[in-house]
A = this chain, B = another copy of it.
Amino acid sequence: MAKSKFEYVREFESSDRCLPNTWMVVRLDGKGFHKFADKHNFEKPNDKNALSLMNEAAKSVMKEFKEITLAYGQSDEFSFLIRRDHDLYNRRSSKISTIICSLFTSAYVFHWDHCMVGKTLLYPPCFDGRVILYPDEKNVRDYFSWRQADCHINNLYNTTFWNLVLKGGITNQQAEERLCKTVSGDKNEILFSQFGINYNNEPEMFRKGTVVYRPKDRSKRSSNVNVEHIDIINDAFWLEHPHLLNKIRE
């Protein structure tokens, strides 16, 4: 039972420390969520409860990890931002990505009954995660702009697609063909002329995704976070909350 003669196997563990002084983004993505949404009858194109559940899970993560100042979610993904000066778990990449991914998943299942009223969870859902490093503040803003632009593009498509199918009475394939090669303007036009929908009046949660951030005032309970569905591509949000990106030294 000598443990020692086996312990050499620990030397095969490799170091994966993230470069110091870089912003860390941890992005989680649902695995097989197309099927998961179908099996659990998620509303098309957006299931408000399912999105709220994602947000609950994100809040659980931010409650646990004060190093996370900002998170952004849309569809079945969520991105968490860790400040460049933090030393969470000695900046070990796999430790950080697995723990955040695990806690998010855990909270998702934990809060299911509360958010998905009347729906039974049929099997355990699963997310993957990764850490991405960004050396400066512009990179960080561009990252979140990329995700929010992605939200817009996908949601406009999905909103048009499902109106065509659910109200327009055409098949999935026909809708796909109809939207093939259309630009944003075309989709807005279809929504308006055919279904009387002004896309800009759609719920902001669907159009903008969800921004969860830690307010500056730390006199409140430090686990306090704001949840908003607002634009983070333009300057306004960042000017209003300069503490989110400011370097610590200055």
Contact = CB atoms under 8 A, between A and B. Distances in A.
A145 B17 contact: no
Interface stretch (A7-15, A39-47, A170-178): A7-15
Interface residues of A, number: 69
Given A12-B134, A22-B19, A135-B84, A128 B2 contact: no
A101 B103 contact: no
Interface in A14-42: 14-17, 19-22, 28, 31
A149 interface: yes
A110 interface: yes
Interface string A92-136: 011101110111111111100000000001011111111111111
A48 interface: no
Contacts of A20: 11-12, 135
B110 A21 contact: no
Contacts of A98: 28, 97-98, 101, 127-130
Interface in A37-79: 60, 64
A143 interface: yes
Contacts of A11: 20
Given A3-B150, A99-B126, 13 more contacts: A3-B146, A8-B142, A9-B132, A9-B143, A11-B20, A14-B133, A19-B22, A94-B97, A94-B129, A99-B128, A101-B101, A101-B102, A106-B124
